[in-house]
Structure 1
Amino acid sequence: MTDTANSIGTAPAAGPTTSIVLVHGAFVDASGWQPVYADLVGRGFEVLVVQHPTITLADDVAVTERAIAAARHPVILVGHSYGGAVITEAGAHPRVAALVYLAAFAPAEGGSVAALTSAPPEPGEAPAPVLPPQDGFLIVDPARFAQAFAADVDRATTRFMAAAQLPWGLGAVTATIGRAAWRTKPSHYMVATSDLMIPPRAQRMMAERIGATMVEVDSSHAVMLSHPREVADLIATAAATVG
């Protein structure tokens, strides 16, 4: 697979003095950031969008670090879902000023996404419809993808997302975090209260554990598609607190 980090948004000289780096999660690619990207570029931010393969955590962190290094300003590092694990590690980069987690995993040192998802669901919670691994990769059951991942996104989009899933490597799922950037960087967390992939209860627990400034939105897991304005507002707030 080819991995790239693209910087297309251009910040004017008198505009924001922070750059935004967007890191997608599992099962989807960077195209899901398009509405958030357009909003942030419209506000004058330099925006870099990371396209990483989700095969191993180490590779995904390396791709993200290249995007961070390419940014012109101190970076607000944003991760959705599994992207939260990526930014937890990559956020230790000295150019990162703050972290933003969107319905995302936030492991501690020595922790992993696998460990965070190992506990059985609590009463009233259904497990995410992830199929058993095949050839070392996971996907969401395509027949249940729309309801579980993006129930508040239009069906034409979710049908395509289900068919175009980016398989998630077990090497990324089980890899442990060596550095937890949230211990030293200000963090913000958006809880998606209608999420059927990562229970909102678990999201709140992670947000509280890392000491993040927490906001909630009535959204599916695909919060960047269903609530792009609210996502962009949170990112802009994080930028303002460090800018």
Structure 2
Amino acid sequence: MIRKLTGLLALATVAAPILPAHAADKPFSVVLVHGAFVDASGWRAVHDRLTEDGYEVLVVQNPTITLEDDVAITQKAIAKAKHPVILVGHSYGGSVITEAGNDPKVRSLVYLAAFAPDVGESVAKLAETPVPGEPGAPLLPPADGFLIVDPAKFPAAFAADVDPGTTAFMARAQVPWGLDAVGGVITHAAWKSKPSYFMVTTQDRMVPPTAQRTMAKRADGKTQEIASSHAVMMSRPDEVAAFIESADGSKQ
């Protein structure tokens, strides 16, 4: 009987699968803030990669009705983080992190195809001047205090390099963008005192690449350009995750 049990134990040891080692926990938390017209589900691929690499990742679900409320919700996520925070904003989410990033727990800011307003500015103010030769966002006229992208133009404007079935659904499932969020004015611009990183999307038809470069230069941010549509977190998640991981809080 003893020999039989010993043999079974040995067999179990040989047959047991070798589980992959998890990445060591990183000393930073990442807080992801989505932009207008979409919800937080667009972060899924980036979330999974960062989590696999050992980061605590918190995903903010903003209603995008007012800037003030979106900043408050983001601040709650920052408060829950276990470590110093790398705060990431996509598109309008850049305005949210510009205000919420003043929290002392925030180590650095990452702007992805994003707006980075200065004090006294709003997304509306930044977007009011067209960039010659670069298309602006194909928005429909405001209705009941909200904006949406023309559904027929959404796939090409927002996510031309994402699966067509996905972009068609995104066009139909848009989250209306409140005018109080579009016009929300920044009172303290965190990029003035925090290291900032900008990923400029060169194929963007929502936020003109030239405007992105101008905001990055003004913030003295570390800049990386990538041939992507506006939905860079969906079309290029590996590159986005790596860029976020580079934002360790040190100016380079």
Q: C-alpha distance in 2, partners of 1:63/1:146?
A: 29
Q: C-alpha distance in 2, partners of 1:169/1:66?
A: 21
Give the structure 1 partner of residue 182 of structure 2.
Answer: 173
User: Which residue identity lines up with residue 33 of structure 2 in the other structure?
Assistant: V
44, 49, 69: which one aligns with 1:34: 44
SS at match of 2:36: coil
Of 153-162 and 232-241, deviating more is: 232-241
1:128 shift after superposition = 1.2
Of 231-240 and 169-178, deviating more is: 231-240
The runs of at least 4 aligned residues of structure 1 exceeding 2 Å deviation read 239-242
C-alpha change, 1:241 and 1:131, in structure 2 (3 Å) is same
48, 56, 73: which one aligns with 2:58: 48
Written as runs of structure 1 = structure 2, the 5 A alignment for 1:177-192 is: 177-192=186-201
Q: C-alpha distance in 1, partners of 2:188/2:249?
A: 25
Give the structure 2 partner of residue 114 of structure 1.
Answer: 124
Contact 2:108–2:249, Cα closer than 8 Å, also in 1: no
Give the structure 1 partner of residue 70 of structure 2.
Answer: 60
Q: C-alpha distance in 2, partners of 1:13/1:131?
A: 45
Give the structure 2 partner of residue 224 of structure 1.
Answer: 233
SS at match of 1:116: helix
Q: C-alpha distance in 2, partners of 1:238/1:39?
A: 15
Q: Does 1:133 align with 2:133?
A: no
Give the structure 2 partner of residue 16 of structure 1.
Answer: 26
Q: C-alpha distance in 2, partners of 1:103/1:121?
A: 15
Larger Rg over CA atoms: 2
Q: C-alpha distance in 2, partners of 1:198/1:14?
A: 36
RMSD: 1.3
1:241 shift after superposition = 4.1
1:111 shift after superposition = 0.5
Give the structure 1 partner of residue 204 of structure 2.
Answer: 195
1:127 shift after superposition = 2.3
Q: C-alpha distance in 2, partners of 1:77/1:163?
A: 29
1:13 shift after superposition = 9.9
161, 164, 170: which one aligns with 2:170: 161
Contact 2:37–2:148, Cα closer than 8 Å, also in 1: yes
SS at match of 2:108: strand
SS at match of 1:143: coil
Q: C-alpha distance in 1, partners of 2:194/2:249?
A: 14
Normalization by structure 2: what TM-score? Answer: 0.89
| Deviations 1:144-196 (CA, angstroms, capped at 9, x unpaired) | 00000000000010011001000000000111100100000000000000000
1:125 shift after superposition = 1.8
SS at match of 1:109: coil
Give the structure 1 partner of residue 244 of structure 2.
Answer: 235
1:120 shift after superposition = 2.7
Instruction: Specify every segment of 5 or more residues in structure 1 that has no aligned partner in the other structure, as ranges.
Output: 1-11
User: Which residue identity lines up with residue 80 of structure 2 in the other structure?
Assistant: A
1:240 shift after superposition = 7.0
1:61 shift after superposition = 0.1
